[in-house]
Amino acid sequence: MMLVAPVGKIVALLAAQVARNRALTPPSVPEAKERYQPSLLATIWQRVLPVQTRLTFWSWAIAEVAAAFSASDFCPPSLGQLIVRLLMRNHPPSQQMGTLSPAFLTGIFLTITGSLVRLHCFWVLGQFFTFELSIRENHKLVTSGPYSIVRHPAYTGGVCILAGMVLTIFDDNSWLVAASGLFPRDVVSLTQTLWCLRVLATSLPLAIITTRMDNEDVMLEKAFGQEWRAWAKKVPYKLVPGVY
């Protein structure tokens, strides 16, 4: 188990991180004249946040991979000791650093699935998919593929990624929680802290996504009029079929 589990965790972390990084990279950038009345908050959301998010998650993923590697039989003792000195504050490398918990595996699955959904949306919309609100030259209203199921499938993928991130980052056996020294060691305090962080890490992005979807609907209705209204009537759900 000490050999297989840490290696499996490393592979899963890297696969999820590569998929997530691609899904959070803008496929195309609109010209200034094509942007739809950007506000300061929208500019931060569309330009700064994706870059900051990618840097943060790569830093976290590298630390998690290093911690899992230090718990494997492949890690040379000298390198393992170095990792302990640099990263471990609560515990030395142990089985928990490489444990594949149900929460972790679910988080990896949601992250990769959500990333694939977003990448498919990139492909379906082509040049019309931008992270900034925009109506591009010769813009067409795409209503096929995932857009025939919900009106904002890329955000459906984004919510899956968000849920996956929360599950993997705040997993009890992750390096961040178990060994970084940033979390309390008392079980009750740890549980309360983790749940508070999970709620905060989920609620704020969901609020932003909800506002963003509303703004996109307003923009598209203004641009396409009756064509958009007919599509909205045929596809009434924004994010989850039959729910919202």
The distance in angstroms from the start CA to the end CA of the chain is 42
What are the DSSP E strand ranges found in the chain? none
Q: What is the C-alpha to C-alpha distance for residues 104 and 42, in angstroms, rounded to an integer?
A: 32
Better-predicted residue by pLDDT, 42 or 94: 42
Helix axes 153-169 and 187-224, enclosed angle (nearest 10)? 170
Mean pLDDT of 174-182: 84
What's the chain's average pLDDT? 84
pLDDT (mean) for 180-186: 83
pLDDT (0 to 100) of residue 221 = 92
pLDDT at 42: 61
The pTM for the full model equals 0.84
The three-class DSSP label of residue 240 is: coil
Instruction: Identify the pLDDT of residue 1.
Output: 43
Q: Alpha-carbon distance 125 to 155, whole Å?
A: 14
- The arithmetic mean of pLDDT across residues 103-132, rounded, is 92
pLDDT in tens, 36-72: 665 666 666 666 677 777 788 888 888 888 888 877 7
The CA distance from 214 to 182, in Å, is: 37
* The CATH number fitting domain 4-234, selected from 1.10.287, 1.20.120, 1.10.3470, 2.60.120: 1.20.120
What is the per-residue pLDDT for 120?
95
> What integer pLDDT is reported at residue 113 of this predicted model?
97
Q: Which two tokens stand for residue 149?
A: 């199921």
Question: Domain residues of the chain, as ranges?
Answer: 4-234
